[in-house]
Each structure stands twice: as structure tokens, then as C-alpha cells.
Amino acid sequence: MTSGPYNYSYIFKYIIIGDMGVGKSCLLHQFTEKKFMADCPHTIGVEFGTRIIEVAGQKIKLQIWDTAGQERFRAVTRSYYRGAAGALMVYDITRRSTYNHLSSWLTDTRNLTNPSTVIFLIGNKSDLDGQRDVTYEEAKQFADENGLMFVEASAKTGQNVEEAFLETAKKIYQSIQDGRLDLNAAESGVQHKPASPGRPLAAPPAARDHCAC
Amino acid sequence: MIFASKMPSLRIDQSDLKCKNGCDYFGNPQWQGYCSKCHRELLQRQRRAEKASSATLPKPEQKKPERGIKLASHSSFSKFEEKRLRQSETLKKANLLKFSVFKKSSTDEHDHTPERKPPEFKIPALINEGMKREFRVRFTNLPPQVDRDARVFVHSFIMDVIKCSNVMTVDELSERVQRHYQHFMKYMDTSPHFANAESEIKELLIDFVEKHAMTYLHDLPGVVFSPIGTEDERLDRAMSERIQQLSWVGEKHLECKLDRTDSACSQLLYKAISELLAVDGAAGPGGKLSRVRRACRHVLALCGASASADDLLPALIFTVLKANPPRLVSNINFVTRFCNAQRLMTGEGGYYFTNLCCAVSFIENLTAESLNMDKKEFDCYMAMPASIGGSTWAAALSLCGAAREAAEQRAAARALLADVATLRAEADLLAANADSFEKEIAFKVNDVLANTPLEIKPRREPLRLSSLRNSSIPLIDLETPVDTPAPMKPSEDIPQIKLPEIMPVEEPVTVTFDRTTDEKITQNIIDFQSLEKPSPPKSPQNQPWELKQTGSFELLTPSPLGFTPFDSRSIDELMTPDDFGSDHLAPGLSNINYDIDLSDFSGDNSLAEDTPKEPKDPFSPDGIKKEPVFDPFQPQTSQSSYKNVLEKFDEFSLIDSKSNETSEAFEVVHRTQDSCTPAAAEEPGDPFSPVQKEASILDDSGSPTSACLLPSPLQPQTR
């Protein structure tokens, strides 16, 4: 399914969550295509929200899923969370209501992802500082209390967007290195693609009979 | 074999309709062309014969010769494959059907004897053949060992799944399948055969393996697709009914921005719907996923260029509601359980499939709240019979089409309304313009009037009168008591006062010069009088006249035209001396005579002309009467006189406005008079009238007193 000229060692799955209209799609677009498109943010283009980055010399393919933020879909969007290695939680610094909903988003994320999932809080639209409705300090405190990484970013200018994605990837990679993240778990959200084949198995796995009977 | 070959065909020939045993009952393809009775008998016979197969054989297919080919050990796999290549497709079908029997018979039997399985079924050669062919096309660079490994894997995979499907729950089976995928991936990573393969090739390979294995398993009833022991089928029906019930849900309820009136949009919707419907037809999870992916791409395009996940999900829900794809739950569960989990969690297909899962889950749990609707309204909608939309997806589609049509018409109506509105606005604008124009004109007119406030009469008259006075003052003294002044006074306010002066002047002077000038003046004055309706306010002396006139008018009215009165009077005046003393007593008769005398008008004129000898008598009444007579005149001569007068007025006014000097005004007056006289001369009566007037004025001195009396006509007549 994934085609591209790049070889990569890992695939990290991210999800972007947050209220409707906080700029989730714009952030994704800014990151994957490095530009802000006010009018035509193809959330899921042909490339489908992927970008290959490099962390500690390892090529990592980020697979980012945008999600629907409407309140009415909250109950049914749990399947998005499945197997996410990173969750970018986005609010709009110009709309306090989007900030107030963060705790419920956080609860969802904690409940629906595995403990090693990295959650990154992003205060979007930092370019609209004049209309700010949520102070940096307040959000920073919230992030610290909940053990989240936090940054204010602007999908429009691109400020801090790259950093948010990269920091998340670094943290995930660190978790892998620390062994906190089990690569073999289906829900880890990380796929490891060894660049070179390891030692060959004695027999093809199909030859073995796992039947219980 | 015969049956087997026949079974797959959907065509029914005439021969197929009758029972094959030759009894008159109709056969049924499900009963292999036998009628129910014969079929049952046949079944029983076969069952007795096939005691080896333990379970009950509910279907005829099971009687087919056993194709069971012992599963070869992996070492001899290739040999078996060679054999299988020669096997026909019908063989495969037969095996498939047999397998289903086997599976059913052994469902949930955990103590199932393992020995039986190998002989029970075999993997059709077609799969291996197809794999081989496709492998050659897709992986040209890979060594043949990879091909073989893949086929071996698929074979063992299928065998394992089939074996385990009987003894494991679906979830266990799913887990087991996933483990198989992982094993194969690990094998690819470690096997020297795959040493040169890129990770992408490996992904393609795992897809390839999954596709072929699952395509085969998918078609086995009750194994992986809506497996026995699950409620998938029931859930499918429930979901289908639910979607039917929700056919009223529109894009408005879901707050997705779809423009149904746009034909491109509806095309995309149709494409998305058809892709969703095709999900059921695709065999493997990969095929289903790609269908979902294509459907979602259409849906995304449907949302417009600026679509995001916020837009995709509602639109996808809408599309699912309109499509009502068959076996939706089964398909979703199948993909969820047996698709390579790694791929399901990443990649475009996985993402869209996740969205589809969300959409289905939303539809399952849909409430009034989730549509932002009133609970009562929601319940009313849900109480609507589900059959309204028809029982199939086609009905949903037709609904969709009808709605689109309605939307198109609504849009057309809206456009018409807009046109009407613009027209109305333009009309209003026009009206406003007209109003403003009117006002502007009115304003301008007023402005002009204000700038040129000309009270013609007062200015004129004083000039004239003053001139008249100058000439008349001495004359007035001569004859103050004359009749004429009296009638003049009431008729004209300012001038009247002067007129009496004038009149007396004329009368006493009797000099031709004076007369002419006076006459001219009087003419003018008379004209004024005529304009200003001199008759009614006339002096009491004249009032009887008026009465008479009115009387004569009334009498004359039957006879047409304003002519008659004048004529009659003139005639009266002319004729009075001749006869009609009696007639005068009876005015009606006199009137009649007057009518007759109309033709004699010229003669009268001639008479009048002849009368210069006695200008006073005939003309005197005229002259006197002229003042009153002018009323009747108005229709005829008055018009001409009017014109003259008007012309004079104009001239007067202009001159007056320019300069208030009396001298100029006089000159003008004279000119006008000159001009008037010719104009008057044109008319038959007018030319005479001046003459007559001269005479009349003269006459007035003699007879006017009598004429001024009520029966002025009578008096002359009496004479």
C-alpha cells in the first residue's frame, strides 16, 4: 500500500484530535506539504497524510490521521485511536471553548490508547495573538499537570508545527529505545521495518501447525 | 458431475422445469431438477449409499463423487499442484460445496476427528494457478522460490483456517489469522529467498498472500465471512432495516455541505454509492478496502476542495445511508478480523475503513440528539414505515434521485424568484425615477413660475385703462347714465370700473375717431369680458337678458349648436322690425323661426350691410347684446376671439413683463387690435361685427336703454 522512494525503519501512527474548526486539517497539511492552504486543505491527499522524517538517524514514516471533531461523533470515533503511537491534541487559542473541551479529549485519549502513547498539546492559531482567548501560561500549566508536551503553533505561518510533530516522534522513538513500547503489540502504533533481513527461519511459518486439536 | 456442472448455471431451460424423473411435477434446480418428492427419495437413497459421510446431507451437492485429495505434505506440494492444474473449475465448485457441508456438519464439534479433515476437502487448483499467473505478472524480479513459498503459505494458511474454523470462535480465528500474517512477514524478513526484496515488495507480497488466501476463504460459506456462531447475518438485516428507516435523514440533518443540485456532485455521490455497494462483491479484505478507499475518495471530492475529516465523516454517513450496502456489518467484521491488522491501522485504506466503521457505528447508535433534532420529530420520522423507501438500496437511490430532482426544481424556482425580485427592484427604481422626475419637473415648473410671476391682467388693464382713462375721462362726463357702463361693471372687476367710463365716452363722442378707438378698446374689453364670463355678474338690467337668454337656450337646446342662439338673437334683432310681434310673445315660436333663419345668415349679413342706413337699429341690439351675446358667441366666434385675445394677452404679457411702460403697451395694443381685426374679418360674423359694433354703439345711445332691459330683443321687435 505504501509506495515511495524512501526506505524507512518505522511507521508511527499519529492521530490529531480536537474540536471542530481548531485547525487539525491545516496542521496536518502544513506538516505534510509544508504549506498552509486556507481554501483547499486536502486533509487526505494522494499521499494520505504521510511524511518521512528522521530521528536519531532512523527514517520514520509518520502516518497521520485526521479525525472528525464534532461532538456528536465523539462516541463513534474511538476506532481512530486504535494503534496510535502519538496523539496531537489541538485547541484554538482564540476560542476558549475548544480549550475547555481538552480534558474530555484527554480522557478519551487515555482510555483508548495504550499507556505509552505520546500526547502532545498544541495551541493552534498562534498567529492570531490579538484575539487570544487562552493564555500560554494557563495552557502550559494544564499540560504540565497532565504530563503533556505543549507548544503553541500556527498552521498558517508554520510556526512550531514541525517541532510538534518531530518532538512527538522523538519521544516515541525514545520509548522504543527504552523498551516501554512493545513493537510486537498490534496496538502499539509502531511498525518496525528492519532494513536488512535477519537470520532466516528454519522453516516457513506456514509449515507449523498451530491447531489446538 | 453432471449436476455439478449444471448447478452453477443460473439459466433455467424448459427441460429443467419438469422433474427429471418424468413425473408431472415441476422440478427445482435446488433439488437438482427433481420434484420435491423424487428429490427426497433420491436423497435417501444416496444417504444410504454414502454412509461414510456421517452427517446429514441437506443438499444434493453432497452426493457428488468425492474429490478429496489428501493434503500433501509440504515437501510434495508442487506435485499436487501439477495435478490440480488440470482440474476444471467445476471441480472447484464441487469441492467448495462439499466443503460447506463438511463445515456445517462439524460446526462447534470440538471432538471432531482430525483424520476426517484431510479427505474432506482440497484446495482448488485455481487458486494456485491464479497465484502463479499473478505472481509472474506482479513480481517479475523475484526468484521462483518466493512464488513457491507464497503458494505454500497460502495453502497451509487456508488449510489451517478451515481446520480451526470448526473449533475456534471467530475472535480466536481472527487472532490466529493475524498470527499467520505476522509469521509470514517474519519469514520474509528472515528467509534468504526474500533477501533482496525491498520492504515495499514485502508489503505487496503479504497483500498478495492475503488476497489469495482470503479470496478463497471468503467464498466458503460461514468460515470467515459472517461465520457461523456469530450474529453477523442478523446484524446485516438489522442494519439494512435501520438504514431503510433512516432514509429520511438528509444532508441537512448531518450538517454536511453537499450541493445536490450540482450535477457533478450527484455524480460523485452515485460513484461513491456504487463503490460502497461493490464492497460486498469484492472477495478479499484488500479488495474491499480498496473499494472503501475509492468510495471515500469520491465522498471527499463530494465535500469540496476544502474538505477535512470534519466534513468527510458526515458525508460518508450520508452516503452509507443512501447506499444501504448489502451485508454491511458482515463485510466490516470480515475486514476487521481477517485483514492484515498492520495495514488496517495505517495507510489510506485503513483510514477510510476506520471512517466507514465510525459511520456505521454512528448509524447504529443514531438518536435524535445526534441529529440535533427534537425527540418527538425524530420519533415521528422513525415511526414512518420502513417500506416507504422501498426494500432495497435501489429505492434509496431513487429517493436520492427524486430528492435531487426536487432540489433542482427548487433551485430553478429560486432562480425565477430572484429574477422576479430583480425585476421588481428595477420596476421600483423606475417608479422612483418617474416620481423624482415628476417632482423635478414640478419643481422646475414652479421655479419657472416663481421666477416669472406674471399677473397679466392687472398690469395690462391698468395700462389700457389708464390710456382709456386718458382718452375717456372727458367722454365719461358726457354720458354717464348710458346703459352700457352698468353691465360692464359687474363683469370685470377692475376694468369694469373703467369700462363704464369708456362706454360713456364712446356714446357721447359719436365722433368716428373716438368711436373707432373706443370700439377697438371696447372690443378688447369685450373680449376680456367674454373670457371672464361677463354675463352672470352683469348689471340688473342685463340679468333679465340673461334670463331670456337662458330661456332661449333651453328652448333652443333641441336645435343644435351654439350658433342658433346667436343667430336667433341676431335674427330677432334683425327681424324684430319686420314681424313676429306675436312670436315674441311666444318665445318658442320665435326660436323656431330663428332656427330656420340660420340659412339666411348671409342674407342677414347682407341686410346688415345694407342696414348701414340704419346702423343703429339692427346693430344696436348687436352692439348692446354683444356683451351678453358673446356668451353664445363663445362656441363659435369666441374661439377666434379667444385666440385673438390670447394672442393679445401674450403679446401684452411679454411686453408688460419686459417693460411696464405704458407707451409700449399702447403700441402693442394697437398692433394687436390691428391683427385682430383681420382675424375677425376672416369670419363672416366678425367682419360685420366691428361694423355692427360701431353701429351698435351708436345705436346703443339710442336704443340700448331698451335693449338693456330684459326683453332687449323684444323691444326692437316691438318697434
The answer to whether residues B212 and B239 belong to one domain is: no
DSSP B87: S
- Mean pLDDT, rounded, for B376-386: 77
pLDDT tens digits along B115-141: 334 445 566 777 777 777 888 787 777
Determine the residue of chain A that is closest to B360 in CA distance: A76
Q: List the single best residue of B348, B352, B356, B361 to mutate versus A (max A Cβ within 10 A).
A: B348
Q: Is the pLDDT of residue B700 over 70?
A: no
With CA atoms as reference, report the closest residue to B340 among B501, B509, B206: B206
CATH number for position B294: 1.20.1050.80
pLDDT at A118 over 60: yes
Decide if B115 is inside a domain.
yes
Q: Per the domain annotation, does B359 fall within a domain?
A: yes
Q: How many CB atoms lie within 10 A of CB B171?
A: 10
Separation of alpha carbons A4 and A90, rounded Å: 29
Scored b (16 or more CB within 10 A) or e, B369-379 reads ebbebeeeebe
Grid coordinates belonging to B258: 453537499
- Do B210 and B353 reside in the same domain of the chain? no
Percent of chain B with pLDDT over 90: 5
Would an 8 Å CB–CB cutoff place B77 in contact with chain A?
no
Where residue A206 falls among pLDDT bands split at 50, 70, 90?
very low
Q: Is A210 on the interface with B (CB under 8 A)?
A: yes
Q: Is the pLDDT of residue B77 over 80?
A: no
Confidence band, pLDDT 50/70/90 cuts, at residue B527: very low
Domain final position from B397, B414, B446 = B397
In which band, very low, low, confident or very high, does the pLDDT at B20 lie, cut at 50, 70 and 90? low
Does pLDDT of B595 surpass 90? Answer: no
Residue B461 confidence (pLDDT): 56
Instruction: Quickly tell me which residue has 527514517 as its cell.
Output: A59
Give residue B686's pLDDT: 45
Q: Which three cell numbers stand for residue B530?
A: 367674454
From the CB of residue B280, how many other CB atoms can be counted at a distance below 10 Å?
16
What DSSP line would sit under B275-288, residue for residue? Answer: HHHHTTT--SHHHH
Question: Has residue B435 got a pLDDT over 90?
Answer: yes
CA-wise closest residue to B136 among B82, B208, B78: B208
Write the DSSP string, A175-200.
Answer: HHHHT-S-TTSGGGSEEE--SS--PP
Best of B354, B363, B364, B367 to mutate (most A CBs within 10 Å, chain A): B354
Query: What's the whole-number mean pLDDT along residues B389-407?
Result: 61
B300 touches chain A (CB under 8 A): yes
Per-residue pLDDT, B51 = 55
Q: What is the pLDDT of residue A47?
A: 54
Q: At what angle do helices B347-364 and B309-323 cross, to 10 degrees?
A: 60
- Beta partners for A63? A13, A50
The alpha carbon of residue A6 and the mean position of all alpha carbons in its chain are separated, in whole angstroms, by 20
What pLDDT was estimated at residue B670?
43
What ipTM was predicted for this assembly? Answer: 0.83
Half-sphere exposure of residue B120: CA atoms within 13 angstroms, side-chain side:
22
Choose, out of A44, A196, A201, the residue to mutate when testing the contact with B (most B CBs < 10 Å): A44
Residues B373, B514, single domain; the answer is no
DSSP E strands, B12-171: none
Taking 50 as the threshold, does the pLDDT of residue B206 lie above it? yes
Contacts of B361 in chain A (CB under 8 A): 75-76, 79
Number of domains observed in the structure of chain B = 4
Contact: B149, A48; criterion CB under 8 Å: no
Asked whether the predicted pLDDT for residue B533 surpasses 50, the reply is no
pLDDT digits (tens, 9 = 90+) for B167-190: 888 888 888 888 888 888 888 878
Q: Could you tell me if A5 lies within 8 Å of chain B, comparing CB atoms?
A: no
Q: Which long-range contacts (CB under 8 A, 24 or more apart) does B300-303 make?
A: B300/A43, B300/A44, B301/B268, B302/B258, B302/B265, B302/B268, B302/B269, B302/B272, B303/B256, B303/B257, B303/B258
Range of the domain at B213: 74-219
Supply the CATH number for residue B38's domain: 1.20.5.4770
Whether residues B280 and B259 fall in one domain: yes
Do the domain assignments include residue B303?
yes
Q: CB within 8 A of B601, min separation 6: which ones?
A: B567, B684
Contact A209 B160 (CB under 8 A): yes
**Range B448-458 average pLDDT:** 76
For residue B462, the model assigns a pLDDT of: 56
Sketch the domain layout of chain A as residue ranges: 10-207
Residue of B nearest to A190 (CA): B342
Both B499 and B635 in a single domain?
yes
Q: What is the CATH number of domain A10-207?
A: 3.40.50.300
A86 close to A118: Cβ distance less than 8 angstroms: yes
